[in-house]
């Protein structure tokens, strides 16, 4: 079952969970996520996502916001370890919300929620400091994997973006060895929210072959998953 299996409603609200510290320091560079902030103006989707996030081991609290202003307020008060932010926020928009949030709180870990056809907005958000993105039809398993990565990662191991006007940052990392043309095509498909099967149909490849190319490009980019690969792709100019 995917998160998009329930249609998104238009009513908005917040979870009303208690405040507290965002993370526990283990003294060895690792931190344990205790709070995740979900920012989306569609109540039904937001509540469904909250239930799935709350079930992930290591997540103790999930709070929500339905406007950018509320997202700023809740982040300042609660300092969540992870922010899941809708690209299409209704007031400031997701990219500007991400940019302002990271500018005010450089340690903020913001992952965008994408509907899959917002390529330019994602590029803007990632260039402005977002750590990566998830499509809103993300499977529960994929969501758990991303959150588990945040739980296990030290702050030093997370990718961070310098704010900038475009996705191609002047200090973009050099990919060595470079991606092959086929690997770039697979990465481009990922950036458009395509599944491995959909990418395979576009490129006339089997799904297993696409997975092989994906594993190779992950290794070359030094990343663990699609979100990190696409984020780095935008920042390095591999994806436009």
CATH of the domain at 95: 3.40.50.2300
Instruction: Give strand pairing partners of 114.
Output: 135
Print the domain residue range for 20: 3-157
Same domain membership, residue 225 and residue 117: no
Residues 43 and 139 in one domain: yes
- In this structure, are 129 and 215 located in the same domain? no
Please indicate, yes or no, if residue 15 is contained in any of the structural domains: yes
Distance CA 220, CA 160 (A): 18
Domain for residue 204, yes or no? yes
229 belongs to a structural domain? yes
d(CA 48, CA 38): 11
Most confident of 27-36, 90-99, 124-133, 188-197: 90-99
Q: Are 183 and 215 in contact (CB under 8 A)?
A: no
Rounded CA gap, 89 and 96, in Å? 9
Give pLDDT, residue 132.
81
**Is 46 found in the same domain as 137?**
yes
The verdict on 76 and 8 lying in the same domain is yes
- For 143-177, write each residue's pLDDT tens digit: 666 666 655 553 433 333 333 322 333 344 567 68
Q: How far apart are CA 192 and CA 234, in angstroms?
A: 12
> Two tokens at 232?
């780095």
- 101 and 20 in a common domain: yes
Task: Judge if 91 and 45 occupy the same domain.
Answer: yes
For every residue of 43-67, DSSP letters joined together read HHHHHHHHHHHHTSTT--EEEEESS
**224 found inside a domain:** yes
Given a contact cutoff of 8 angstroms between Cβ atoms, the answer to whether 82 and 33 are in contact is yes
Same domain flag for 126 and 187: no
Residue 170 lies in a domain: no
Q: Look at residue 33 and give its three-state secondary structure.
A: strand
CB atoms within 10 A of CB 201: 14
Whether the pTM exceeds 0.85: the reply is: no
- Checking if the pLDDT of 7 tops 50, the result is no
Count of the separate structural domains present in the chain = 2
Whether residue 46 is contained in a domain is answered as yes
Instruction: Quickly state the pLDDT bin for 21 (edges 50, 70, 90).
Output: very low
Q: Radius of gyration of the chain from Cα atoms?
A: 17
**Residue 162 forms part of a structural domain:** no
Same domain for 142 and 204: no
| Same-domain status, 151 and 187 | no
| pLDDT at position 173 | 56
């Amino acid at each position: 079952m995917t998160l998009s299996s329930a249609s998104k409603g238009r009513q908005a609200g917040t979870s009303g969970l208690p405040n507290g510290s965002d993370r526990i320091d283990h003294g060895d560079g690792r931190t344990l996520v205790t709070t995740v902030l979900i920012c989306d103006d569609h109540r039904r989707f937001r509540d469904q996502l909250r239930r799935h996030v709350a079930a992930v081991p290591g997540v103790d609290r999930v709070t929500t916001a339905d406007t950018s202003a509320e997202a700023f307020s809740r982040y300042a008060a609660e300092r969540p370890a992870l922010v899941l932010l809708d690209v299409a926020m209704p007031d400031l928009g997701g990219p500007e919300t991400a940019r302002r949030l990271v500018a005010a709180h450089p340690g903020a870990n913001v992952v965008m929620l994408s509907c899959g056809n917002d390529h330019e907005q994602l590029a803007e958000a990632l260039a402005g400091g977002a750590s990566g993105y998830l499509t809103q039809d993300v499977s529960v398993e994929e969501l758990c994997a991303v959150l588990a990565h945040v739980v296990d990662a030290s702050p030093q191991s997370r990718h961070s973006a310098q704010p900038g006007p475009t996705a191609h940052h002047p200090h973009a990392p050099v990919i060595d060895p470079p991606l092959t043309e086929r690997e770039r095509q697979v990465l481009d498909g990922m950036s458009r929210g395509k599944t491995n099967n959909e990418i395979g149909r576009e490129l006339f490849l089997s799904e297993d072959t696409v997975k092989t190319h994906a594993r190779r490009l992950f290794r070359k980019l030094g990343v663990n998953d699609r979100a990190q690969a696409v984020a780095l792709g935008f920042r390095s100019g591999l994806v436009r």
